[in-house]
Structure 1
Amino acid sequence: MTIVVTVKINDGIVLAADSATTFSDNDGNVIKIYNTANKVFNLVKGLPIGLLTWGAGGVGAASIATLTKDLRRRLAGEDPSHIDWKLPVDYTIEAVASRVKEFFHDELYAAQAPSPNFFLGFKVCGYSAGAALPELWDFRIVGDKAIGPVLARGQDSSGPNWDGEYEAMDRLILGIGTKFKPFLKEQGADDQQAEEVTSAAVRALSVPVTIPAMPIKDAIELATFMVETTIRFVGFNMRAATVGEPVEVAAITKHEGFKWVKRKLFFHQDINP
């Protein structure tokens, strides 16, 4: 499990994630957790385009981190065998999200036997060429199906989004946990009734935590808080700590582009400047 967060406002979009990656046996028992996974990426260096990933840590033998860097080379025009993948000057985030789907699903995942339990999610976000405001696109591989890319937040939409480990933020921001709808069904509600009551509860109990004019610094602090709170929440549960530090955070703004706020490195900067 993991936690990935975006906070989109008028002045930009913030990406944040934990660093845990979990390995389980065939029965679903956790056998190892590493707190060094990379889930936040600048998809094309020098351009205001970011990527968040959660779910499976790899496709085949390669990690998502390595594969994302392969995709980055293509989009930057550095892969001679895929020179047509280089982003044009008038690129859109929608087109970039479609390339993410084409690369990870159509090319890589479809080449192997699909697993009914496989899940891999991506959030592609940033500024289309010449755009005044950012946007957020969502793409997922669920079993043998590709879902999206779909527009999660257009240029005129602001607010937080979170995926992976939902419980902490669902309770804190939406006012109800992930077990609320199943509980209603246990009490005799049918699917439609459970959906209607859940929606009504969220409307009545949710707490707004952003406004479109929020400064980017505050959006950074909110995204960091959301990830850190989820880490603490999971850490105190009677379960494996499948969400863990360190927290990585990046911000994408119109004029500064993609900038790291918090980042872990596997090398020492003094010997690898």
Structure 2
Amino acid sequence: MSLVVSLRVPDGIVVCADSLSTARTNVQMVLEDLQIKCPECGSSIEKDRLKLPVVPIPFSASSFTQKLVPLFERYSIASFGLGIIYGRSAMYHLRLLEMEHQENIPKLEELTDKLVSYFESHLESQFPGYKEKAPEDWFPIGFHLNGYEDQHPRTYEIFVGKKSIIRKHELIGCTIGGDMTVVQKLWEIGKKDSGLQFKYGLLSLQDAVDLGTYLIETTSSFQRFANVVPTVGGAVDVALVTPFDGFRWIREKSLSTMVQRREER
């Protein structure tokens, strides 16, 4: 599922993402040498094998999934939802999209349309006819696209699915995506008592880094003790976007650091 956090504070945009990916496997149990007794006549029916309905079982697939990446060295994008699209990771697709538009870098709003178009086409390849067959609220892929337009911070929430949605956030504040249950409970405390609300307008960059990390790690820790399959976990990647320096890593996984350095050579 994932959890990504985009914090727009006075000095920049801080983006955080977890690294856990989950998947599902289908399990079908088979009963053998079964005797079924009729409740009316009392006679027994013997059956050698009886297949029970297939049950999807979720499990944690990896703690090292890359969900947060730079785009064109000036934007950040973080993904949640479906991690593998048509046989390739979300990060791989984003790199392909970046290469496709490297010579003519689109503006943020234009880029949102290109993202939706790109991933809708790949969803069609993986799920043919989904536009007609999928339920109305089917949004298997989500993104946070962060950057600056005319010195103003922007977070675009992008939900790709049957009827894709794009939402723009341009005020100081926090936007989350993925498994939002725990964070929303924390927000509810502030709704009941304004003195307990997060003061985004007063946060320094370091405060924003710590808060974003806290929200993800708190969700992960809660799931550790709850009776649920974890959907958030692994290392927390953190990036900073400013109108002066574009995208800069604050904290990232060691392997992604090595890969990006090789690409820059």
How does the TM-score come out when normalised to structure 1?
0.75
CA–CA distance in 1 between the matches of 2:111 and 2:188?
31
1:162 aligns to 2:176 (yes or no): yes
Q: Which amino acid aligns with 1:150?
A: R
Cα separation, partners in 2 of 1:215 and 1:58, compared to 1, 3 Å:
same
CA–CA distance in 1 between the matches of 2:240 and 2:118?
25
1:121 maps to 142
CA–CA distance in 1 between the matches of 2:185 and 2:63?
25
* 3-state DSSP of counterpart to 2:253: coil
CA–CA distance in 2 between the matches of 1:31 and 1:254?
40
CA–CA distance in 2 between the matches of 1:34 and 1:125?
26
1:264 aligns to 2:253 (yes or no): yes
Q: Displacement of 1:220 after TM fit?
A: 1.2
Deviates more, 1:203-212 or 1:229-238: 203-212
1:242 maps to 231
1:97 aligns to 2:86 (yes or no): no
Q: Displacement of 1:212 after TM fit?
A: 2.3
2:203 maps to 214
1:37 aligns to 2:65 (yes or no): yes
CA–CA distance in 2 between the matches of 1:3 and 1:93?
22
Deviation per CA, 1:1-45, whole angstroms, max 9, x where unpaired? 211111111211111011011010243311442111111010113
1:193 maps to none
CA–CA distance in 1 between the matches of 2:235 and 2:6?
17
CA–CA distance in 2 between the matches of 1:127 and 1:258?
11
Q: Displacement of 1:267 after TM fit?
A: 6.8
CA–CA distance in 2 between the matches of 1:96 and 1:33?
30
Deviation per CA, 1:63-118, whole angstroms, max 9, x where unpaired? 111101101112212xxxxxxxx22xxx532111111112111x322344225566
Check conservation: 1:11, 1:254, Cα contact below 8 A: no
1:2 aligns to 2:23 (yes or no): no
Q: Which amino acid aligns with 2:71?
A: L
Q: Which amino acid aligns with 2:226?
A: N
1:150 aligns to 2:167 (yes or no): yes
* 3-state DSSP of counterpart to 1:109: helix
CA–CA distance in 2 between the matches of 1:32 and 1:18?
13
Deviation per CA, 1:97-141, whole angstroms, max 9, x where unpaired? 111112111x3223442255661101111113xx21211111112
Runs of at least 4 residues of structure 1 off by over 6 A? none
Check conservation: 1:10, 1:133, Cα contact below 8 A: no
Check conservation: 1:160, 1:210, Cα contact below 8 A: no
Q: Which amino acid aligns with 2:186?
A: L
* 3-state DSSP of counterpart to 1:145: coil
1:18 aligns to 2:7 (yes or no): no
Q: Which runs of 5+ in 2 are unaligned?
A: 27-54
Cα separation, partners in 2 of 1:211 and 1:33, compared to 1, 3 Å:
same
Q: Displacement of 1:268 after TM fit?
A: 8.1
* 3-state DSSP of counterpart to 1:212: helix
Cα separation, partners in 2 of 1:268 and 1:248, compared to 1, 3 Å:
closer
* 3-state DSSP of counterpart to 1:65: helix
Deviation per CA, 1:203-222, whole angstroms, max 9, x where unpaired? 43464213324221211111
* 3-state DSSP of counterpart to 1:37: coil
* 3-state DSSP of counterpart to 1:23: strand
* 3-state DSSP of counterpart to 2:218: helix
Q: Displacement of 1:164 after TM fit?
A: 1.4
CA–CA distance in 2 between the matches of 1:99 and 1:163?
20
2:158 maps to 139
How does the TM-score come out when normalised to structure 2?
0.77
* 3-state DSSP of counterpart to 1:103: helix
* 3-state DSSP of counterpart to 2:220: helix
1:51 aligns to 2:74 (yes or no): no
Q: Displacement of 1:235 after TM fit?
A: 1.3
Q: Which amino acid aligns with 1:234?
A: Q
Check conservation: 2:60, 2:230, Cα contact below 8 A: no
1:228 maps to 217
Q: Which amino acid aligns with 1:161?
A: T
Number of residues paired by the alignment? Answer: 226
Superposition RMSD on alpha carbons, in Å?
A: 2.4
